[in-house]
Structure 1
Amino acid sequence: MRTRFSVPSRKRRRRVLDRAKGFYGASSKQIRTVYDAVTKADSHAYVGRKQKKRQYRKLWTIRINAACRANDLNYSQFIHGLKLIKSDLNRKMVSEMAIHDQEAFNALLLQVKEALKK
């Protein structure tokens, strides 16, 4: 006779049901629906982790561009200038500098402008 409600089965279902806590309606109660909901949530989470990287890079670009335009330079010229001075700063660092440390950012801008004039 085939067992359907053995301890491992109950344990596996309980684990999946626990992951569906907080889901709405049958998505947190009925095991078939829960499997679908948890699988979909996992796939959304996977995609979201990839999108987060893109979105942050976009945000850093926008911040750098805004700070550069306030100083009569655009983003692409600034990045080109960074390459010319062989700077190891990445976009995240430059973005944080533009927001929290204006003096350092302005010093960097001066270096970039000098490199672009040559």
Structure 2
Amino acid sequence: MPRARNGVAKRLRRKRLLKQAEGFWGNRKSRFRKAKETLLKAGVYAYRDRKTRKRQFRYLWIVRLNAA
């Protein structure tokens, strides 16, 4: 009989990850590996763009002040 590896934990982990990938385009929402890669990239973009957002608003603020 083959060794039973922890299938319950594996299923929960995959299910949780695929739940986060809802709304992604194509097979990125249904394939575990693709979803995992895309979520990783999404996290990188989110981190980067949180910094960029502050920069953009500061720029916009300065433009509006100078226009007034």
Normalising by structure 2, what TM-score? 0.90
Amino acid in the other structure paired with 2:57: Y
Amino acid in the other structure paired with 1:42: G
Whole-Å separation in 2 of the counterparts to 1:60 and 1:41: 28
Runs of 4+ residues over 6 Å off in structure 1: none
Whole-Å separation in 1 of the counterparts to 2:44 and 2:4: 33
Residue 45 of structure 2 corresponds to residue 41 of structure 1: no
1:13 maps to which residue?
A: 14
Whole-Å separation in 2 of the counterparts to 1:33 and 1:51: 26
The residue matched to 1:21 in structure 2 has which SS? Answer: coil
Report the alpha carbon displacement of residue 64 of structure 1 after superposing the two structures with TM: 0.5
Whole-Å separation in 1 of the counterparts to 2:4 and 2:54: 48
Unaligned runs of 5+ in 1: 68-118
Normalising by structure 1, what TM-score? 0.53
How many matched pairs? 66
Report the alpha carbon displacement of residue 33 of structure 1 after superposing the two structures with TM: 0.5
Whole-Å separation in 2 of the counterparts to 1:48 and 1:14: 27
**Percentage of pairs with the same residue:** 41
Alignment of 1:96-107 (within 5 A): none
2:62 maps to which residue?
A: 61
Unaligned runs of 5+ in 2: none
Amino acid in the other structure paired with 1:54: R
Whole-Å separation in 2 of the counterparts to 1:11 and 1:50: 33
